Structure 1
Amino acid sequence: MSKIILAASALSIMAGAAFASPANGIVGNINTGTRVITLESGKSFTIPHDVALPAIQAGDTVSLQLNDEGDKVQAVLR
């Protein structure tokens, strides 16, 4: 019985770590020079240089994929 609980615990920890959290919204402003996207909600995200920045403009809906801690953008999707 304890082996089943241990296996289930390990599986749940690994499954939780596999998913990056998303931030979805409508672009309020984008500064391509500083690579900062500000959503209409007021939340701003700096896009690292190793992440592709698609051609987006104010009014576009985007999904920003964040790392597990929610402090680094890993992808910008339209």
Structure 2
Amino acid sequence: MRKLILAASALALMSGAALATEVDGVVAKFNPAVRVITLTNGESYTIPRDVAIPPQLAAGKRVAIDEHDNGAKIDFVLVGSAT
């Protein structure tokens, strides 16, 4: 019984990690008033108020956006160098 519980716990932890994705792209525009990042591929992401937005975020910068649950929750935004 104990092994079954451990196996079920491990499976639950692994399935949660599988729901996380990271989106990489280049910022086409950023609207700080509504916290929306639009990438050059046309995808837009609304960043929740509890997630910090790096001050160097601007059009032309490369970003990585970490999201969970198919985009329902964004965990963080990282900014790289300009393209």
Distance 2:27 2:69 in 1: 22
- CA displacement at 1:60 relative to structure 2: 0.5
TM-score (normalised: structure 2):
0.75
1:36 maps to what in 2? 36
List alignment gaps of at least 5 residues for structure 1: none
SS at match of 2:14: helix
List alignment gaps of at least 5 residues for structure 2: none
Distance 1:21 1:36 in 2: 18
Percent of counterpart pairs with the same letter? 37
TM-score (normalised: structure 1):
0.79
- CA displacement at 1:9 relative to structure 2: 6.1
Distance 2:5 2:25 in 1: 39
Over 6 Å off, 4+ runs: 3-6
Supply the RMSD in Å over aligned alpha carbons. Answer: 2.2
User: Greater strand percent: which structure?
Assistant: 2
- How many equivalent residue pairs? 77
